[in-house]
Structure 1
Amino acid sequence: MRSHFWNRSAALLAVAAMAACGGGGGGSSEGAADDAGEAAPAAAAVDPSTVGTISGMANFTGGMVPTMEAIDMSTEADCAAGYGADGPMAQNVLVSNGGLANVFVYLSEGVSGAPAASGAAALDQVNCRYTPHVLGVQSGQDIEISNSDNLLHNINATPTENRGFNISQPRAGITSTQRFAVAEVMVPVRCDVHGWMQAYIGVVDHPYFAVTGADGSYSIANVPAGDYTMTAWHEEFGTMTTNVTVTAGGTAEASFDYSGEMMGADVPMGEALVIEHGTNRIRVERTQ
């Protein structure tokens, strides 16, 4: 990881911009970025007789599973109590019975005329951790961000292609609605109050995406028959692609194999703004 400092004038402009994005005083807030616009209009309904399913696995196939660090939540006793005797652990690499969780899989080529998303996606803050750790949304789709902890969190999303936001939620029960206008994989999200809190949001311009579960599996339904390129993203292992052909009424299989040797790969991600309180400096951190 490397970082650089902005000059003073740029820092002042950034502080002003983030102050304008701050929020969270009532029970809920509508904080969608102004340039996000309305959700994309729905395309013609998909004929169910012409669609199929894509399913598969993200497998951890070789090498030692990286050991995740324990998270020190001693300053937030109520949060720490939610994890039992073992305490909270980092979520960078979660492997169970050979399956890798939190891999964002999506169709990256071949999609046209996709319908708009229905309903909102949800991102919560529970026991001082984002839930889910990796979230997929469609461009223009509402994201309802909630605080289930009765303490202060701030949600600092720093995309590259979209407009970011930095909002505060000082107590439990607050919900803020945000959205991203264009596709971007991935958008990092962090809490500046609790440095261990990180999440990632994958934004695509269609509904054909999924995040692998605890067992490494995923499924994407209602995909129009055709030939596609599929991409898988993981925060430590980078991206992988494969070709997949979907047939009407069929189930295509597309799996991805990861190994410990891939740890530290180049991972596409936006830049995180970090405020250094007490120095009045803003740092841009890039994860490499």
Structure 2
Amino acid sequence: MNMKLQLGSILALGMSVQLASAGDITGTIKLTGSAPAEREISTMDPLCRKLHPDKLPTTRFYMTGAEKGLADVVVYLKGITGKSGGAAAEPVVLDQKNCEYLPYVTAAQTGQTITVKNSDPLMHNVHPVPKNRSAGNKEDNKVQMPKAAPLNFTFPAEELFLTFKCDVHPWMFSYVSVFDHPYFAVTDETGKFKISGVPAGKYTVAVVHRKANAGKEVTKDIEVTDAGAVVDLSLEAK
């Protein structure tokens, strides 16, 4: 009996050490400088205009919140490959609603299903245009009728800001960054992010925005402990 108790204590200790060997990376990305004003999408056709009776939407190049927190920044760990659990992960969902793609920027793992919905009362076409085609990311182009069944896509290779667009409505875009691991996030409307469950160790964190800092990534070396790590960085409006 004592041996069983001792063995149980050892197993419990091992589990507690294992649980303590990962942490969360959190932080805020801010915009410095003055971003150009967003432009009203005045080219909307009459059918799409009816979905915006009060005010036409604008471009979404620099979306900032309180204290200039910058939305739509992709934050990820560099140098990690072969760790994707995308095939078993819940789908990433893009919706075409009011003639806009939502969300504007998101991210997925290699092999993870990206489900595209059409919540509008009109036709769209779903046209992913990857740049990393030599590694197997395939371009596609499918019509999606109003309230039609969702369309599903997967991509086997990493790529930043893989473009989804609608050729029928040329202002409609969404950008999906694809990683071969689960350690990434996209900043919210206040510029905050969280990457959960990162194994303890030393890493290089990269942050990149489509427009800020001329689209060039900024990196920072960090060490993750069971207490996590904090990464606060700024990107310049350019």
TM-score when scaled to structure 2?
0.83
% identical equivalent positions: 34
Q: In 1, Cα distance between the equivalents of 2:109 and 2:129?
A: 17
3-state SS, counterpart of residue 222 of structure 1: strand
Q: In 2, Cα distance between the equivalents of 1:83 and 1:227?
A: 48
Please tell me whether residue 139 in structure 1 is matched to residue 110 in structure 2.
Answer: yes
Q: In 2, Cα distance between the equivalents of 1:113 and 1:127?
A: 38
3-state SS, counterpart of residue 45 of structure 2: coil
Q: Which of these residues, 90, 93, 96, is aligned with residue 59 of structure 2? A: 90
Give the letter aligned to residue 146 of structure 1.
K
Give the letter aligned to residue 191 of structure 2.
G
3-state SS, counterpart of residue 154 of structure 1: strand
3-state SS, counterpart of residue 64 of structure 1: coil
Give the letter aligned to residue 45 of structure 2.
T
Q: Which of these residues, 34, 42, 51, is aligned with residue 72 of structure 1? A: 42
Task: Give the equivalent residue in structure 2 for 1:127.
Answer: 98
Equivalent residue runs for 1:166-177 within 5 Å? 166-177=141-152
Would the aligned equivalents of 1:53 and 1:251 in 2 still touch at CA under 8 Å? yes
Q: CA deviation at 1:218?
A: 0.4
Task: Give the equivalent residue in structure 1 for 2:10.
Answer: none
Q: CA deviation at 1:207?
A: 0.6
Would the aligned equivalents of 1:105 and 1:209 in 2 still touch at CA under 8 Å? yes
Task: Give the equivalent residue in structure 2 for 1:116.
Answer: 85
Q: Deviations over 1:159-192 (max 9, x none)?
A: 1221121111021232011100111112112111
Q: CA deviation at 1:73?
A: 5.4
Q: CA deviation at 1:80?
A: 3.2
In 2 relative to 1, CA 194–115 (structure 1 residues): closer, same or farther, beyond 3 Å?
closer
Task: Give the equivalent residue in structure 2 for 1:215.
Answer: 190
Give the letter aligned to residue 230 of structure 2.
E
Q: In 2, Cα distance between the equivalents of 1:225 and 1:124?
A: 36
Q: In 1, Cα distance between the equivalents of 2:207 and 2:51?
A: 31
Give the letter aligned to residue 220 of structure 2.
T
Of 214-223 and 233-242, deviating more is: 233-242
Task: Give the equivalent residue in structure 2 for 1:258.
Answer: 235
Q: In 2, Cα distance between the equivalents of 1:112 and 1:177?
A: 24
For structure 2, the residue ranges without an aligned partner over 5 or more in a row are: 1-17
Give the letter aligned to residue 176 of structure 1.
L
Q: Deviations over 1:39-97 (max 9, x none)?
A: xxxxxxxx432110001111012x223201101254244x4354463320101111112
Please tell me whether residue 189 in structure 1 is matched to residue 167 in structure 2.
Answer: no
Q: In 2, Cα distance between the equivalents of 1:58 and 1:170?
A: 38
TM-score when scaled to structure 1?
0.69
Q: In 2, Cα distance between the equivalents of 1:89 and 1:160?
A: 26
Would the aligned equivalents of 2:84 and 2:180 in 1 still touch at CA under 8 Å? no
Aligned residues: 211
Task: Give the equivalent residue in structure 2 for 1:247.
Answer: 225
Q: CA deviation at 1:123?
A: 0.8
Give the letter aligned to residue 139 of structure 1.
T
Give the letter aligned to residue 85 of structure 1.
D
Q: In 2, Cα distance between the equivalents of 1:82 and 1:226?
A: 49
In 2 relative to 1, CA 84–60 (structure 1 residues): closer, same or farther, beyond 3 Å?
farther
Please tell me whether residue 200 in structure 1 is matched to residue 141 in structure 2.
Answer: no
Would the aligned equivalents of 1:150 and 1:171 in 2 still touch at CA under 8 Å? yes
Of 161-170 and 79-88, deviating more is: 79-88
Task: Give the equivalent residue in structure 2 for 1:56.
Answer: 27
Q: CA deviation at 1:243?
A: 1.3
More helix by share: 2
Would the aligned equivalents of 2:82 and 2:180 in 1 still touch at CA under 8 Å? no
In 2 relative to 1, CA 65–115 (structure 1 residues): closer, same or farther, beyond 3 Å?
closer
Q: In 1, Cα distance between the equivalents of 2:208 and 2:139?
A: 21
Would the aligned equivalents of 1:191 and 1:197 in 2 still touch at CA under 8 Å? yes
Please tell me whether residue 154 in structure 1 is matched to residue 125 in structure 2.
Answer: yes
CA RMSD of aligned residues (A): 1.7
Q: In 2, Cα distance between the equivalents of 1:153 and 1:136?
A: 22
Larger Cα-atom Rg: 2
